Amino acid sequence: MMREAIEGKGICGTARRICGILLRYGLTPRKMLRKLEKFERILNDYGCTATFPTTAVVLKRYCGHLKSVIGSEKRAAAFSGGACERMGGDCVELAVHGLFHRDISTLEKEELRRELREALRIFMKSGIEPVGFRAPYLKRNENIAEVVGEMGLEYDNSEAILWEFDEIGHEIEREIERIREFYRPSDAKTCMSLPRGISPVFIPVSLPDDEILERLNLWANAGRIWSEILSRVYERGEIFVLQLHPERIEKFESALRVVLEYAKRRNPPVWVASLKDIARWWKERGNFDINVDEANGGKFNVSVNCSDAATILLKDAESHIEGERHWHGAYKSVECRDFELSERPSVGVSPRVSEEFVNFLIEEGFHVEESTAKWKYGVFFEEETSKFSALQRIESSDAQVVRIWRWPFNARCALCITGDIDALTLWDFLIRIFD
pLDDT above 70 as % of the chain:
88
pLDDT of residue 88: 39
pLDDT of residue 319: 78
pLDDT of residue 82: 43
- The mean per-residue pLDDT over the stretch 123-145 comes to 95
- The mean per-residue pLDDT over the stretch 207-221 comes to 94
Which of these, 197, 259, 221, 213, lies nearest to 413 by C-alpha position? 259
Residue 177 pLDDT more than 80? Answer: yes
Q: In this structure, are residues 201 and 282 in contact, taking their beta carbons and an 8 Å threshold?
A: yes
Q: In this structure, are residues 29 and 65 in contact, taking their beta carbons and an 8 Å threshold?
A: yes
pLDDT of residue 282: 98
> What is the pLDDT of the chain when averaged over all its residues?
89
pLDDT of residue 20: 63
Task: Look up the CATH superfamily of 2-282+414-434.
Answer: Glycoside hydrolase/deacetylase (3.20.20.370)
**Residue pLDDT, tens place only, 337-354:** 999 999 999 999 999 999
380 beta partners: 348
pLDDT of residue 81: 43
Confidence label for 298 from pLDDT (cuts 50, 70 and 90):
confident
pLDDT of residue 2: 46
Global pTM value: 0.91
pLDDT above 90 as % of the chain:
77
325 beta partners: 333
- Sketch the domain layout of the chain as residue ranges: 2-282+414-434, 312-404
**Residue pLDDT, tens place only, 317-341:** 777 788 899 999 999 999 999 999 9
Residue 6 pLDDT more than 60? Answer: no
- The mean per-residue pLDDT over the stretch 105-117 comes to 96
Q: In this structure, are residues 239 and 186 in contact, taking their beta carbons and an 8 Å threshold?
A: no
Confidence label for 5 from pLDDT (cuts 50, 70 and 90):
very low
